[in-house]
């Protein structure tokens, strides 16, 4: 393409706007030196794919000069909001996580909210549903807050077992209930140090006035608050609020997380996924904080321009420090954020690759099929086959089988039958074979499964996992493989085996239930006929 005329661009701070052939603004950027920054788009030859498409699409360049770098940040954010150019990064949340909400009512209700809609107070988001439910349960029970959508006219079970103060029947004043809510807010914000001190003072006052029952209640509350605080603690104390921004790039995609640390306590995180482009992080920060609370300190993996700090200070009205730590506690916070990104987005991939390494497989076991046998004293013998694809259950490809050729208790022969049926059919229908087969059992089940594969002509690696000691066996090797039970590879096999076991037991119970119900119907029918 022929680059647009750039001769008139000045060597000053400002914003540049790229337009396409129909005049639509497709990108807005900022620069300390407009001439140098815009020229770089046409001088470089090693652009990433997104920037390459941008350069190929743009037809004309406009610019707006600003007095300072800080003004350029402010103007860039305004222009992006106004024009929403398609080549600027899209700051949509990568996932939707739940919040804990405290409604704004005379007697507020505490519960779970899927988005920050409404005028209540929201805490989170919580990436882990288990962690969210735990926090909600502790706060709700500790401060005895209502969770009913509409207050009933009589006391419910939660009041009678001491988990609610009973605002529905007038057992608590609005002032006292609001105090309970204030305590809950302090805990959810991570502001526990001041709260514990206040509660301890109240407990001592109750004791001094011989109100021992009330003092004991506060002692239990203090214990719960301390326990929750320790669960949320991030390894360090801080007197101000911090954000930790980290990212990973894979296959042209950016995975970025912002951790919110309130006075040393991890209080939530935001997560984004967008297409990689040069300078994406420098664009992300000012846009993100234009829509979100600016903390006292922002910890990042790379040095940031001082003009960004001035822009954020102007935005927030307080001092903002940009830190790029090389060691120490802040560096550990960055590592924690990076570990979270890897766990959330690459955890499954890591499991697959570790298993490949542990089993010395030529290719990564992207597709794994696992078999389990289930029966009750030799009756209703069934088999399950579950499939995991790229580290996750692929339930569309689960299969269940009634054992047809085996009588009584013979897990070995049952395993041989189901493996033979499965892979003979796949070969006959010319379907893809899995990368690995996992057998629930020991050396006996494994040898019969291996024999079935040889009889069908299916060349697939196969291993067995013995449940008693979680030992892994491979064909032809008399001893278990040197697998550490706590490795990702072994735990991944356990996860697959447990799912196959669950699926088999569910099917076995279903058949037994049908058989019992069928007998009951026949007996009932006979009596009616008589």
Q: Residue 31: pLDDT above 70?
A: yes
Domain 241-347 class, CATH top level: alpha beta
Q: Are 402 and 467 in contact (CB under 8 A)?
A: no
Q: Of 452-461, 486-495, 503-512, which has the strongest mean pLDDT? A: 452-461
Query: Could you tell me the pLDDT band of residue 327, with boundaries at 50, 70 and 90?
Result: confident
Helices and strands, counts by H and E, the chain: 14, 18
In the chain, the N- to C-terminal Cα span, in Å, equals 93
- CB 386, CB 503: distance < 8 Å: yes
Evaluate if residue 465 carries a pLDDT over 90.
yes
What does the DSSP 8-state code read for residue 397?
A: G
Contact predicate 75/64, CB 8 Å? yes
- Encoding tokens for residue 410? 């013979």
Q: What's residue 299's pLDDT?
A: 93
Q: Give CATH for domain 14-83.
A: 3.40.1440.10
pLDDT digits (tens, 9 = 90+) for 211-221: 777 777 778 77
Quick: pLDDT tens for 426-451.
999 999 999 999 999 999 999 999 99
CATH superfamily, with its number, for domain 367-513: UvrC, RNAse H endonuclease domain (3.30.420.340)
When mean pLDDT is compared across 175-184, 191-200, 437-446, the lowest value belongs to: 191-200
User: Where does the pLDDT of residue 192 fall: very low under 50, low under 70, confident under 90, or very high at 90 and above?
Assistant: low
Q: Which of the residue ranges 158-167, 173-182, 186-195, 386-395 would you say has the lowest mean pLDDT? A: 186-195
Predicted local distance difference test score (pLDDT) of residue 319: 92
pLDDT at 90 over 80: no
Question: In the chain, which segments carry CATH 3.40.1440.10?
Answer: 14-83
Can you tell me the distance from the alpha carbon of 208 to that of 85, in angstroms, rounded to the nearest whole number?
66
Provide the β-strand partners of residue 274: 254
Q: Are strands 399-402 and 25-31 parallel, antiparallel or unpaired?
A: unpaired
DSSP H stretches of helix in 47-173: 49-57, 69-83, 129-142, 157-160
Q: Is the pLDDT of residue 528 over 50?
A: no
Q: What percentage of residues in the chain have a pLDDT greater than 70? A: 86
In angstroms and rounded to an integer, the radius of gyration of the C-alpha atoms of the chain is 31
The segment with the largest mean pLDDT, out of 66-80, 139-153, 268-282, 291-305, is 291-305
Name the pairing type of β-strands 321-323 and 297-300: parallel
Instruction: Out of 208-222, 259-273, 359-373, give the one with best mean pLDDT.
Output: 359-373
Q: Are 341 and 477 spatial neighbours (Cβ–Cβ below 8 Å)? A: no
Residues of the chain with CATH 3.30.420.340: 367-513
For the ranges 7-16, 63-72, 118-127, the lowest mean pLDDT is seen at 118-127
pLDDT (mean) for 271-284:
89
Omega before residue 32 within 30° of 0, cis? no
pLDDT for the residue 337: 81
By mean pLDDT, which of 2-6, 11-15, 100-104 is the weakest?
2-6
Query: Of all residues in the chain, what percent carry a pLDDT higher than 90?
Result: 28
Average pLDDT value for the chain: 83
Number of C-alpha atoms within 13 angstroms, CB side, residue 26? 19
Distance CA 30, CA 225 (A): 46
Buried b (16+ CB within 10 A) or exposed e, 318-346: eebebbeeeeeebeebbebbbebbeebbe
Specify the domain boundaries for CATH 3.30.420.10 within the chain: 241-347
Region 258-265: mean pLDDT is 72
Residue 131 has a pLDDT of 63
């Amino acid at each position: 393409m022929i680059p647009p005329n750039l001769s008139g661009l000045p060597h000053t701070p400002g914003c540049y706007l790229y337009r396409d052939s129909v005049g639509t603004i497709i990108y807005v950027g900022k620069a300390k030196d407009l001439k140098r920054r815009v020229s770089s788009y046409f001088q470089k030859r090693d652009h990433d794919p997104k920037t390459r498409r941008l350069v190929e699409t743009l037809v004309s360049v406009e610019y707006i000069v600003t007095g300072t770098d800080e003004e350029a940040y402010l103007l860039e954010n305004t222009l992006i909001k106004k024009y929403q150019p398609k080549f600027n990064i899209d700051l949509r949340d990568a996932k939707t996580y739940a919040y804990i909400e405290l409604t704004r009512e005379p007697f507020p209700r505490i519960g779970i909210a899927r988005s920050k809609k409404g005028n209540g107070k929201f805490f989170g988001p919580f990436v882990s549903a288990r962690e969210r439910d735990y926090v909600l349960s502790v706060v709700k029970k500790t401060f005895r807050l209502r969770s009913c959508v509409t207050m009933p006219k009589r006391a419910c079970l939660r009041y009678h077992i001491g988990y609610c103060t009973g605002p529905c029947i007038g057992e608590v004043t609005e002032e006292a209930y609001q105090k309970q809510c204030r305590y809950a807010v302090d805990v959810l914000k991570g502001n526990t140090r001041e709260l514990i001190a206040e509660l301890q003072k109240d407990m001592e006052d109750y004791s001094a006035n011989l109100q021992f029952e009330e003092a004991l209640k506060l002692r239990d509350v203090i214990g719960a608050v301390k326990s929750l605080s320790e669960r949320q603690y991030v390894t360090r104390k801080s007197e101000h609020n911090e954000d930790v921004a980290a990212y990973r790039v894979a296959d042209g995609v950016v995975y970025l997380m912002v951790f919110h640390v309130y006075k040393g306590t991890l209080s939530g995180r935001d997560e984004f996924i967008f297409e990689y482009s040069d300078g994406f992080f420098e664009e992300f920060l000012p846009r993100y904080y234009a829509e979100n609370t600016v903390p006292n300190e922002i910890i990042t993996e790379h040095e940031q321009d001082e003009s960004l700090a001035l822009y954020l200070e102007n935005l927030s009205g307080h001092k903002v420090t940009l830190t790029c730590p090389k060691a120490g506690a802040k560096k550990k916070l960055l590592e924690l954020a990076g570990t979270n990104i890897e766990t959330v987005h690459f955890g499954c991939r890591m499991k697959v690759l570790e298993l490949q390494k542990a089993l010395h497989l030529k290719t990564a076991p992207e597709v794994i099929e696992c078999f389990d046998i289930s029966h009750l004293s030799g009756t209703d013998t069934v088999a399950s086959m579950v499939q995991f694809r790229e580290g996750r259950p692929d339930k569309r490809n689960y299969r269940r089988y009634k054992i047809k050729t085996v009588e009584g208790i013979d897990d070995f022969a049952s395993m041989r039958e189901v493996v033979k049926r499965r892979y003979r059919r796949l070969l006959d229908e010319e379907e893809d074979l899995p990368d690995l087969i996992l057998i629930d059992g020991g050396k006996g089940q494994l040898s019969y499964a291996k024999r079935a594969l040889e009889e069908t002509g299916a060349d697939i690696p196969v291993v067995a996992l013995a449940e008693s000691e979680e030992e892994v066996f491979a064909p032809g090797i008399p001893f278990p493989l040197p697998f550490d039970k706590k490795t990702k590879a072994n735990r991944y096999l356990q996860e697959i085996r447990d799912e196959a076991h669950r699926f088999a037991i569910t099917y076995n119970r279903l058949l037994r239930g049908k058989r019992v119900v069928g007998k009951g119907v026949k007996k009932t029918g006979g009596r009616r006929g008589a």
